[in-house]
Structure 1
């Protein structure tokens, strides 16, 4: 190839024009070099693992490398003289960009995507190609294109993107779904999150609960009766704006929907697995719908595909999550089903927890209200009113209690207590404390002694819940009140011509500690003054110092001449108890002239 002792002769050097001229002039060395370089160049073109093509100015194939022919699944000879659109109509190529390369000579890098005639593991193939302009003697001949298939890396990139999107959806759902212990709210949060993130419309249907508290497909036996429709309550539904009116017409939140045997919802409930399908025909849609009579409405709404995922808690179905897509939205894919199933599993756990808390809250509330509704009879020279408001934040009802006991010698004992904790156990413990204080008060002991003995009795009895308690003994004959506190907030007095103030009281430990050393104090209670006892739920707010909370209470302007129930309503409204995070109990008393 080169003379002995000489360096190698470069191939395709800058003297190409001279070599061609020499060959044309009959120079054997020039002809040999030209032939050798041509053969080597064909080896490069024909053997490259990249797709190489030459196009004329009309973007028709002039040359197609063997590898490109294999990628396309079309023989090279069959492609010559035709455009890409004619050879592979399912591959998108921006021809306008290629014409720009012809016009300005600047190379362009393009991404081509679509399907070819060759077998491929990828649903859609992707190539990265670079196009250069070909010129000869200032004349534009066409384009040279070199492309590599990047379907594998692009698919992995898409899979990573889908995974990241799925994780982002799940992370976002964790803070947006299940924020309360309310079943209906959780269902609304779930459907509201899924639309439009994953579906054009979404709904949650729950099975009726049987008397034992279990969710059953037929409301009782746990088996779906053959040939019978299953009735579910649509708890929540959401849809994109264009679809919302039609979706609501098919069943709004709060309505019951009956599902025929073999419907998508029934299949999902009975199998415990997701159902996914495209409604390719009215027959298919009629079988999947709650009833065949809904096909026309579904078609009018443009619904073309759906996913139904069972909501399962403690190995029992409690309902279903249904997602649909309509119009131009793509059909549901495998990744969509995975996300929907994961969200359904999380939502079912939240719904089961919310249902359990609702049952326990109802039991505790019924017990507490039954206990608090027992009649109390103060002396006729003391007017009394009370309010009990369970927390509205979703936690279980607490152990608040109050009492008003008429004692001999025109004395009345006012009681306000709060058992630590929430739920049925706290309500039961509250009943024990209430009965104990009543029994001790009947013995005629002063407030501090009642608290001291109650502390010892609770400790000895093994009651494992402590309680705070404030006792105020109103002695009308003496015109004074004696009070003692077991870890409870002080009473408030509102008098004529004087704003509200808290009455100082020595505070001992809560009842049940065994360390009870309680002291009493006294203060005057003039006729017309209002005395108010309350639990901490009235004033405490998360993140706020208790002294700040109490100052807010004493800063409320309160009339003392009106009815006591209106007095309490004014207090509750001024302190915004609807946002309280604990139960609120208040008891107001006003000394009046004794009736004959």
Structure 2
């Protein structure tokens, strides 16, 4: 490392910071060679980030060169300020999202649950992906998967607002399609909120039924006891926040041998690929037989390369807890729909 000595008591870098302007000074390089130094403070938005120091042996800096060094220092300080602000916003958004997703509401004890949230490895920003569970009466649980459009702190804040609205509406124990209708109407009145997709699944273990409703979200999948995955045909209504409404309810039998899988688009979507092809890749999967929900979820992420997804990934796996000696209430239609 080249170290210059300055005849003056104060180094030009310290003077430049104190005076907040470029400073030139004579310097002596190792070996006794005479040189000149110019120091320009790195100042931006009233904050000091350091000093740009340039040395020239056997010559001096012209006024134009000194001005150029000063201009370069200002640009550098501005970039540093923007980078630090960006990093601070990213940390805030990530901390907010981790706090919100770390402990979703407790499902009923008769339901096994596993969740994962994976920020995108290709983006420095956090998205609005989220999941939630709401414990209802009579042993039922409402499972929620949502995705607010956009990234960054605003998306994370809107995600929190959707989650709060959802908890309030769900506490009234309405069917999923009516929960979406009320949530859509409530959020549509807040013009600053970004639209969001949302999938609801109300699981009733005692009856062996799952009831679904979707607001622009991708369909869930059910993994059978043989490890084969199949998509559930859920009518897709408009995203939340549009005020349009029009959500439908569809029911399906769900046994303790089956695992319900809900996810955001980051799990399956690939750049340049049609969404139907992405969903087909999921439906073609054959997973390990007899695996628990945690192991099954890890295998899904591994098989679909969730760790290297191009977007954030939120995914939830749920399974009715098997109680020996109990049977479902009776046969249920595999697909029944209800309108508004």
TM over 0.5: yes
Following TM superposition, by how much is the alpha carbon of 1:477 offset from its aligned partner in structure 2, in angstroms?
2.5
Following TM superposition, by how much is the alpha carbon of 1:458 offset from its aligned partner in structure 2, in angstroms?
1.6
Q: Are 2:58 and 1:310 equivalent residues in the alignment?
A: no
Choose which of 484, 487, 495 in structure 1 pairs with 2:213: 484
Q: Which residue of 1 aligns with 2:330?
A: none
Offset from partner CA, 1:553-577 (integer Å, 9 cap, x none): 4455532533433333333344444
Offset from partner CA, 1:29-81 (integer Å, 9 cap, x none): xxxxxxxxxxxxxxxxxxxxxxxxxxxxxxxxxxxxxxxxxxxxxxxxxxxxx
Following TM superposition, by how much is the alpha carbon of 1:452 offset from its aligned partner in structure 2, in angstroms?
0.9
Unpaired runs of at least 5, structure 2: 326-340
Helix, strand or coil: the match of 1:517? Answer: coil
Relative to structure 1, the CA distance from residue 324 to residue 526 in structure 2 (aligned partners, 3 Å threshold; closer, same or farther) is farther
Check conservation: 1:473, 1:481, Cα contact below 8 A. Answer: yes
Q: Which residue of 1 aligns with 2:17?
A: 269
Relative to structure 1, the CA distance from residue 281 to residue 353 in structure 2 (aligned partners, 3 Å threshold; closer, same or farther) is closer
Relative to structure 1, the CA distance from residue 267 to residue 562 in structure 2 (aligned partners, 3 Å threshold; closer, same or farther) is farther
Cα distance in 2 for residues equivalent to 1:524 and 1:514 = 31
Offset from partner CA, 1:289-347 (integer Å, 9 cap, x none): xxxxxxxxxx6xx997766443322243222345668xxx9978658766655554443
* RCO comparison, higher one (Cα < 8 Å, 6+): 2
Q: Are 2:242 and 1:513 equivalent residues in the alignment?
A: yes
1:202-281 equivalent positions in 2, closer than 5 A: 262-274=10-22, 279-280=27-28
Helix, strand or coil: the match of 2:223? Answer: strand
Helix, strand or coil: the match of 2:323? Answer: coil
Offset from partner CA, 1:200-235 (integer Å, 9 cap, x none): xxxxxxxxxxxxxxxxxxxxxxxxxxxxxxxxxxxx
Q: Which residue of 1 aligns with 2:51?
A: 320
Check conservation: 2:36, 2:61, Cα contact below 8 A. Answer: no
Cα distance in 2 for residues equivalent to 1:272 and 1:554 = 64
Cα distance in 1 for residues equivalent to 2:187 and 2:265 = 22
Q: Which residue of 1 aligns with 2:337?
A: none
Q: Provide the aligned length of Structure 1 versus Structure 2.
A: 320
Q: Which residue of 1 aligns with 2:146?
A: 417
Q: Which residue of 1 aligns with 2:201?
A: 472
With the length of structure 1 as denominator, give the TM-score of the two structures: 0.47
Cα distance in 2 for residues equivalent to 1:490 and 1:394 = 25
Cα distance in 2 for residues equivalent to 1:303 and 1:563 = 74
Choose which of 450, 455, 458 in structure 1 pairs with 2:184: 455
Helix, strand or coil: the match of 1:489? Answer: coil
Cα distance in 1 for residues equivalent to 2:55 and 2:280 = 54
With the length of structure 2 as denominator, give the TM-score of the two structures: 0.79
Relative to structure 1, the CA distance from residue 456 to residue 333 in structure 2 (aligned partners, 3 Å threshold; closer, same or farther) is same
Please provide the CA RMSD for this pair.
3.5
Helix, strand or coil: the match of 1:349? Answer: helix
Unpaired runs of at least 5, structure 1: 1-245, 251-259, 283-298
- Which of 265-274 and 581-590 deviates more? 265-274
Q: Are 2:318 and 1:570 equivalent residues in the alignment?
A: no
Cα distance in 1 for residues equivalent to 2:237 and 2:60 = 65
Check conservation: 2:221, 2:262, Cα contact below 8 A. Answer: yes
Helix, strand or coil: the match of 1:450? Answer: helix
Relative to structure 1, the CA distance from residue 271 to residue 392 in structure 2 (aligned partners, 3 Å threshold; closer, same or farther) is farther
Helix, strand or coil: the match of 1:588? Answer: strand
Q: Are 2:243 and 1:523 equivalent residues in the alignment?
A: no
Choose which of 205, 229, 232 in structure 2 pairs with 1:500: 229
Cα distance in 2 for residues equivalent to 1:381 and 1:476 = 7
Larger Rg: 1
Relative to structure 1, the CA distance from residue 276 to residue 371 in structure 2 (aligned partners, 3 Å threshold; closer, same or farther) is same
Relative to structure 1, the CA distance from residue 489 to residue 308 in structure 2 (aligned partners, 3 Å threshold; closer, same or farther) is farther
Relative to structure 1, the CA distance from residue 267 to residue 433 in structure 2 (aligned partners, 3 Å threshold; closer, same or farther) is same
Q: Are 2:104 and 1:378 equivalent residues in the alignment?
A: no
Cα distance in 1 for residues equivalent to 2:149 and 2:34 = 53
Following TM superposition, by how much is the alpha carbon of 1:403 offset from its aligned partner in structure 2, in angstroms?
1.0
Helix, strand or coil: the match of 1:431? Answer: helix
Choose which of 90, 93, 96 in structure 2 pairs with 1:367: 96
Relative to structure 1, the CA distance from residue 526 to residue 305 in structure 2 (aligned partners, 3 Å threshold; closer, same or farther) is farther
Following TM superposition, by how much is the alpha carbon of 1:413 offset from its aligned partner in structure 2, in angstroms?
1.0
Relative to structure 1, the CA distance from residue 277 to residue 465 in structure 2 (aligned partners, 3 Å threshold; closer, same or farther) is same
Relative to structure 1, the CA distance from residue 554 to residue 464 in structure 2 (aligned partners, 3 Å threshold; closer, same or farther) is same
Offset from partner CA, 1:174-213 (integer Å, 9 cap, x none): xxxxxxxxxxxxxxxxxxxxxxxxxxxxxxxxxxxxxxxx
Relative to structure 1, the CA distance from residue 317 to residue 508 in structure 2 (aligned partners, 3 Å threshold; closer, same or farther) is same
Following TM superposition, by how much is the alpha carbon of 1:397 offset from its aligned partner in structure 2, in angstroms?
2.3
Structure having the higher helix fraction is 1
1:44-63 equivalent positions in 2, closer than 5 A: none
